[in-house]
Amino acid sequence: MYGNQSHHASLISSGRVLVFLFAGLLLLGAILSLHKSEKSLVQTAGGLDQAAAAVIEINAAEPHPKHDGKLVYVTGRLKTSAPIRDETFALEVNAVRLERHVEMFQWREVEKRRNSLSNDRSIGRRRKVYRYEKIWSKQRIDSSTFRHSGHDNPTTMPFANHSVQADVVQLGGFRLSDSLTDQIPPSDPLDFQLADLPPEIARDAFIHHDAPNQSPRLYWSAGRGRAKRDAQIGDARVYFTMRPCSTVSVISQQRGDSLVPFRTAKGTQIELLSVGTVTPDAMIQQVRGTTTRSAWGGRLIVTTIMMVSLYLLLRLGSRWINPYAFLTRITELQRWRIAASVAITLACFCICSAWVIDHPWYAVSVLAIAVPIIPASVHGIHPRSTPLRRDVSHSQAERRETQAEDRKRRKRKRRRRLAKRRG
């Protein structure tokens, strides 16, 4: 019995060592990741500053050779060389891109765990239970992996998701790059009717206006006619969206009659597109706002990871250093306070080190926040008067002695009560 207890204690000790090492590596990785992301933010901010100073507004009607290689701002309405067409559904539209969205009605397997109550031996155990439901899915669900038969899905989709893009997209006399074209949002649903579709598709389909923005959606079922009915396994539903030839504003580099990405001296790639007539300053500020929001989200996540890793280091490492040390005699809440303050301070120093060269005032303001955090957080933390016990076996022995004394005390009280009754 004692050998099993010793083996169990050694396993617990090895697990604590592994958790301690993992927490240390996690803390180091979080610090390096935050520093790298802040360096990238500094580079992006510097590139946007250079872009704001270098951009010039030109007329989009005709490219001028003197602007070649410069960062330019143009605005106007897009146009394409020819209409684009979805050959399967025979739909043609004058747009930048036409996108087909297809879903198929299929079986899906749902796995759940339930308590097993079949007999006394299985009480407390959990068994897997599989349930099957019908859903509309954009991807084909492979039913060959299901645990139970009788829920078979088709092996292929009746129609595939597909997109068609115009070969040439122009803004005035400029030709847009593919990366600029991809920034145009697919905001407009395509309106169509059964009469616009091929007869082999239209004869087994009906249209219902339940797609995004109440746009038409085609419901198709092979051999079932046009009447509205409940969906069956293998049925498909399709709707279309398009990227229209709308008015846009672009900040990019002129290269001949094309607009291509511009690379600043900081290494930042500038290629911006906004729908509508938007000024260059507003476009750059919009990018700054998006970058700042994502940056603060990343900082919060990394700081939380640092706090958890620091708590684990304080929770496990302080016992090995000295069982009567200050960190072993504080409460869990106080330990979390210390971990949070140190994590926030480390994060502030990482931010400060990345921004101090290019934006010293921003670095100084962050540093001013970091300096008083630890003293304010540690203030009022006092160690508990009772130190923690050195090991688990000693505490267990004391607990057993206390329980034995309690039993003896209860026996003595019973004896005295019985003696009083007899007397």
The token pair that represents 47 in the structure block: 């590139």
0.85 surpassed by pTM = no
User: Can you give the pLDDT at residue 121?
Assistant: 52
Residue % of the chain over a pLDDT of 70: 84
Summarize the confidence of residues 262-276 as an average pLDDT. Answer: 86
- Alpha-carbon distance of 16 to 260, in angstroms, equals 55
| pLDDT band, residue 115 (cuts 50/70/90) | low
Q: Is the pLDDT of residue 209 over 50?
A: yes
Summarize the confidence of residues 108-133 as an average pLDDT. Answer: 70
Q: Is the pLDDT of residue 107 over 90?
A: yes
The token pair that represents 404 in the structure block: 């034995």
User: Can you give the pLDDT at residue 1?
Assistant: 45
Instruction: Please check whether residue 216 is in contact with residue 91, taking contact to mean a CB–CB distance below 8 angstroms.
Output: no
Instruction: Please check whether residue 267 is in contact with residue 43, taking contact to mean a CB–CB distance below 8 angstroms.
Output: yes
- Alpha-carbon distance of 149 to 53, in angstroms, equals 66
Instruction: Please check whether residue 171 is in contact with residue 60, taking contact to mean a CB–CB distance below 8 angstroms.
Output: yes
- Give the chain's length: 423
User: Can you give the pLDDT at residue 125?
Assistant: 61
- Alpha-carbon distance of 243 to 238, in angstroms, equals 17
| pLDDT band, residue 167 (cuts 50/70/90) | confident
* 143-157, 159-173, 308-322: least confidently modelled range: 308-322
Greatest mean pLDDT range, 48-52, 127-131, 377-381: 48-52
| pLDDT band, residue 307 (cuts 50/70/90) | very high
User: Can you give the pLDDT at residue 32?
Assistant: 92
Closest CA to 249 of 370, 75, 418, 119: 75
Closest CA to 64 of 51, 74, 79: 74
User: Can you give the pLDDT at residue 74?
Assistant: 92
* More confident: 358 or 210: 210
Q: Is the pLDDT of residue 199 over 80?
A: yes
Domain ranges of the chain: 2-47+288-378, 78-248
* More confident: 417 or 278: 278
Mean pLDDT score across all residues of the chain: 82
Residue % of the chain over a pLDDT of 90: 23
| pLDDT band, residue 178 (cuts 50/70/90) | confident
Strands (E), 116-233: 126-137, 162-165, 169-171, 174-176, 188-189, 205-208, 217-220
* More confident: 307 or 396: 307
Summarize the confidence of residues 309-314 as an average pLDDT. Answer: 87
Torsion of CA 151, 156, 159, 164, to 10 degrees: 130
| pLDDT band, residue 333 (cuts 50/70/90) | confident
43-91: per-residue pLDDT in tens? 888 888 888 888 999 888 888 888 888 899 999 999 988 899 999 999 9
Q: Is the pLDDT of residue 202 over 80?
A: yes
Q: Is the pLDDT of residue 325 over 60?
A: no
212-262: per-residue pLDDT in tens? 888 899 999 888 777 777 889 999 999 999 888 888 999 999 988 888 888
Instruction: Please check whether residue 140 is in contact with residue 157, taking contact to mean a CB–CB distance below 8 angstroms.
Output: yes
User: Can you give the pLDDT at residue 377?
Assistant: 59
| pLDDT band, residue 389 (cuts 50/70/90) | very low
User: Can you give the pLDDT at residue 388?
Assistant: 43
| pLDDT band, residue 29 (cuts 50/70/90) | very high
